[in-house]
C-alpha cells in the first residue's frame, strides 16, 4: 500500500475492530437486536398458514389499538376482500394509481394525508384497511399505515407484496382458469 501512509491504515483497522466488538457486543443485549444469519427473517408478523378469518385470534385485538401495522400475505388479502371486510388503500401517487392499481382500491398517498388530515374521516372504521404500494422494496404502504394508526385506526394492515405480488397472483389465477377451461 505505497499510495497510503501506514499509520492511518493501522488506525482505521483498530477503529473497525473496536466498532465490531461494540456492535456485536451491544447487539447481544439490544431489545431490537439483529439476527445474524444467511437468510432473511420472515417479514410476516402473522403466520402464513393462518387464514384471514382467524387473524383476530392471533394477537390482533380490535379493542386495543395496534402499535404496528400487521403484514398480510396475498391469500389473506384475497380472503378479506371476498368477505367484503376490507378496503384497499393504494399508497402511491395519484399518477401511479391512475396508471394501474388493484381492483377496488382507493388512492391515498402519505403526502395527501399530510396535507389533509380530515381525509381519514372518509375511511370506514368498521373495515380492515389494507395499505399497499409497488411491492416488497417500497415502503409507502408502511408509512401510510403508521399515519393511519396515529389517526386512530385500529385495524390497519400492510400488504407487503403489493402490486407486484398481486399481479403474479392474478396471472397464476388466469393460467389456472385457462387450464381448467381447456380440460
Q: Which residues are near another protein by CB under 8 A?
A: 4-5, 7-16, 18-20, 22-24, 26-27, 30, 32-40, 133-134, 137-140, 142-143, 146
Q: Which is nearer to another protein, 134 or 165 (CB)?
A: 134
Q: Which is nearer to another protein, 6 or 183 (CB)?
A: 6
Q: Which is nearer to another protein, 2 or 35 (CB)?
A: 35
Q: Which is nearer to another protein, 62 or 150 (CB)?
A: 150
| Residue 70 CB neighbours (<10 A) | 20
Between CA 45 and CA 78 the distance in angstroms is 17
Report, in Å, the least distance between residue 149 CB and another protein.
Answer: 11
Between CA 153 and CA 128 the distance in angstroms is 9
Report, in Å, the least distance between residue 170 CB and another protein.
Answer: 22
Between CA 55 and CA 6 the distance in angstroms is 60
Report, in Å, the least distance between residue 183 CB and another protein.
Answer: 40
In the sheet that 106-107 helps form, which strands lie side by side, from edge to edge?
70-72, 156-159, 128-132, 86-90, 106-107
Decide: 71 and 41 in contact? Cβ < 8 Å: no
Report, in Å, the least distance between residue 92 CB and another protein.
Answer: 8
Amino acid at each position: 500500500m505505497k499510495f497510503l501512509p501506514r499509520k492511518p491504515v493501522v488506525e482505521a483497522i483498530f477503529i473497525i475492530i473496536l466498532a465490531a466488538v461494540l456492535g456485536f457486543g451491544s447487539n447481544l443485549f439490544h431489545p431490537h437486536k439483529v439476527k445474524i444469519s444467511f437468510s432473511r427473517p420472515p417479514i410476516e408478523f402473522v403466520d402464513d398458514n393462518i387464514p384471514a378469518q382467524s387473524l383476530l385470534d392471533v394477537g390482533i385485538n380490535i379493542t386495543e389499538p395496534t402499535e404496528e401495522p400487521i403484514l398480510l400475505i396475498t391469500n389473506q388479502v384475497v380472503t378479506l376482500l371476498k368477505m367484503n371486510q376490507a378496503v384497499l388503500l393504494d399508497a402511491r401517487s395519484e399518477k401511479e394509481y391512475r396508471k394501474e392499481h388493484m381492483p377496488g382500491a382507493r388512492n391515498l398517498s402519505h403526502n395527501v394525508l399530510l396535507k389533509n388530515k380530515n381525509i381519514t374521516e372518509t375511511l370506514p372504521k368498521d373495515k380492515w384497511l389494507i395499505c399497499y404500494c409497488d411491492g416488497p422494496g417500497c415502503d409507502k404502504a408502511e408509512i401510510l399505515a403508521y399515519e393511519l394508526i396515529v389517526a386512530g385506526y385500529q385495524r390497519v394492515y400492510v400488504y407487503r407484496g403489493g402490486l407486484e405480488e398481486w399481479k403474479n397472483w392474478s396471472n397464476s389465477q388466469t393460467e389456472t382458469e385457462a387450464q381448467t377451461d381447456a380440460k
